[in-house]
Amino acid sequence: MYDVIVVGGGPSGIFAALQAKRINKKIKLVVLEKSKSILSKIKVSGGGRCNVTNATFDIKELCLNYPRGNKELISAFHQFQPLDMIKWLEKKGVSLKIDNGKRVFPSSDNSQCIIDCFLKEIKNKDVEVKYNQNIINVIKKNDLFEIVLKNQEKILAKKIILATGSSNDGLKYAKQLGHNIAPFIPSLFSFKIESNDILKLAGLSQKRVKVFLKNSSYAQIGSILITHEGFSGPSIINLSSFAAKFLYEKKYKVILSINWLNNFSKDQIMHILLKAKHQHSKNLLSKINPFNFPYKLWAFFLKNFGNIFFTTIKDISNRNLIKLVEKLSSDHYSMISKSENKNEFVSCGGINLKEVNFKDMQSKKCGNLYFVGELLNVDGITGGYNLQNAWTTGFIAGNSLQKP
């Protein structure tokens, strides 16, 4: 019989277990992990570098990065926020650095040092971890929980922390224990588009574009990367997060619009082009490049938006210039499917947040049952926000176990 069973050895479950042991080292606690290793997503996170959190310390600003969970996380971050995680890791000897977009990485650029830090802590705090645990059921029996394993072994516990991430197992257990759930669907992905000459420019990126989805209000501003099958980069990945449900419902068949010159109004773009026409009348527009696009991208626009690549600027009709302005401000591509973002991937969906008390992460439907991490219907955009959700909710649950 255990005081606490943590189901799942990902970052949220392990952090919860460490906190529980910190508060009470005598607590009888075990982490039951389905696979043969713990923290396996940490290893591959951030492209192997582990974007461990984001150095956004203003809680309101921080919450804007969570398409789902932004309201509920406000109180949670007041208990444990990115600065606390940074201090925690540094205290344990992990040197950190802040990269673009306030992303926090280990200075070594190697996720293994985060895993090593946790393995050391698990040993120091004497946290029991059992691997290859095949749980087939979690049942509430009076005041206790019974965990049933495939080999028919039964383990009893007074409290349970469900930390199964985006595995459907956790949803199944929670449903049985009376919870409403939103099925998991993908978030944080790149877009595949219909065959188009722009794909020949794979590898090129452009800053400060606005990407938006036709027939919706979803839009994001940021860098875009052209890939060999479509588009990626922060603007697209973040759009996939905010529009995760919309895209899923549309089966990823939507029209993506790109405003390549989001910093300019259409009038300003036209003004700049007319000025160029006046000042460099005998020149080719391709040579002038008044918006400083990567040359190959500018050449693509001139070839595809009015076929004016080889035309001297004085010979380009105003009608063609208007067409160019229109296309630069609203260039359309047919999305045909999604592809994974290799740096970070997360699921949208999970336990209904109204049924969880974010002061202690306890279920409002079933006493002594706690939810942490990605199993909750919380997900963030790319940038370390998803791991921060795991740290914060894990911290709160682990600290709350002693409370009556």
Ligand X SMILES: Cc1cc2nc3c(=O)[nH]c(=O)nc-3n(C[C@H](O)[C@H](O)[C@H](O)COP(=O)(O)OP(=O)(O)OC[C@H]3O[C@@H](n4cnc5c(N)ncnc54)[C@H](O)[C@@H]3O)c2cc1C
**Contact residue for ligand X among 56, 65, 133, 241 (CB under 6 A):** 133
Binding residue (CB under 6 A) for ligand X from 5, 20, 29, 46: 46
Closest CB to ligand X among 198 and 236?
A: 236
Which x/- pattern over 360-389 shows residues binding ligand X (rule: CB under 6 A)?
-------------xxx--------xxxx--
H-assigned helices in 7-64: 11-23, 40-44, 59-63
Rounded CA separation 178/195 (Å): 47
d(CA 161, CA 395): 12
Q: How many residues does the chain have?
A: 404
Q: Choose among 149, 153, 155, 151: nearest CA to 137.
A: 149
**Amino acid of residue 143:** D
Residue 33 in contact with ligand X, rule: CB under 6 A: yes
HSE value, Cβ hemisphere, 13 Å, CA-based, for 22: 16
Q: Interaction with ligand X in 73-132: which residues (CB under 6 A)?
A: none
**CB of 217 vs ligand X, minimal distance in Å:** 26
Q: Which stretch binds ligand X (CB under 6 A): 221-229, 262-270, 317-325, 341-349?
A: 341-349
- 121 membership: H or E segment, kind and range: helix 112-124
Q: Does the protein bind ligand X through residue 338 (CB under 6 A)?
A: no
Q: Candidates 30-38, 79-87, 203-211, 234-242 — which segment interacts with ligand X by CB under 6 A?
A: 30-38
Quote the CA–CA distance of 333 and 197 in Å, as a whole number.
11
Is 44 an interacting residue with respect to ligand X (CB under 6 A)? yes
> Could you give the C-alpha distances from 179 to 171, 173, 182, 366, 367, in angstroms and in order?
9, 9, 10, 9, 12
Give min distance, CB of 380 to ligand X, in A: 7
Distance CA 96, CA 54 (A): 11
The phi, psi pair for 57, rounded to 5°, reads -100, -10
Smallest distance from ligand X to CB 43, Å: 9
- Residue 127 CB, shortest distance to ligand X, in Å, is 14
Task: Determine the interface stretch with ligand X among 86-94, 160-168, 268-276, 303-311 (rule: CB under 6 A).
Answer: 160-168
Shortest CB 13 distance to ligand X, Å: 5
Task: Considering only residues 180 through 239, tell me which ones interact with ligand X, judged by CB under 6 A.
Answer: none
Separation of alpha carbons 104 and 383, rounded Å: 8
What part of residues 346-365 is at the interface with ligand X (CB under 6 A)? 346
Instruction: Quote the least distance from Cβ 375 to ligand X, whole Å.
Output: 6
Q: How many residues bind ligand X (CB under 6 A)?
A: 38
Task: Tell me how far apart the alpha carbons of residues 300 and 286 are, in angstroms, rounded to a whole number.
Answer: 10
In the complex with ligand X, the residue whose CB is nearer, 184 or 291, is 184
401 binds ligand X (CB under 6 A): no
Q: Interface with ligand X includes 345 (CB under 6 A)? A: yes
Select 160 or 163, whichever has its Cβ closest to ligand X: 163
Give the range of 149-157, 208-216, 248-256, 344-352 binding ligand X by CB under 6 A.
344-352
Q: Which residues pair with 147 in a beta bridge?
A: 138, 155
Residue span 2-21 as binding mask against ligand X, x where in contact by CB under 6 A, dash where not: -----xxxxxxx--------
CA distance 158 to 354: 24
- Mark the segment that binds ligand X (CB under 6 A) among 71-79, 157-165, 203-211, 300-308: 157-165
The CA-to-CA distance between both ends of the chain, in Å, stands at: 19
Nearest Cα residue to 281 out of 315, 320, 317, 321 = 315
C-alpha distances (whole Å) from 116 to each of 42, 107, 393 are 11, 14, 21
Q: Which of 2, 4, 27, 41 binds ligand X (CB under 6 A)?
A: 41
Q: Which is nearer to ligand X, 33 or 72 (CB)?
A: 33
CB 374, min distance to ligand X, A: 4
Residue 7 CB, nearest approach to ligand X (Å): 5
Q: For the packed helices 385-400 and 72-79, what is the interaxial angle rounded to 10 degrees?
A: 70
Task: Report the interface residues with ligand X, using CB under 6 A.
Answer: 7-13, 32-35, 38, 40-41, 44-46, 50-51, 133, 135, 163-167, 169, 344-346, 373-375, 384-387, 390
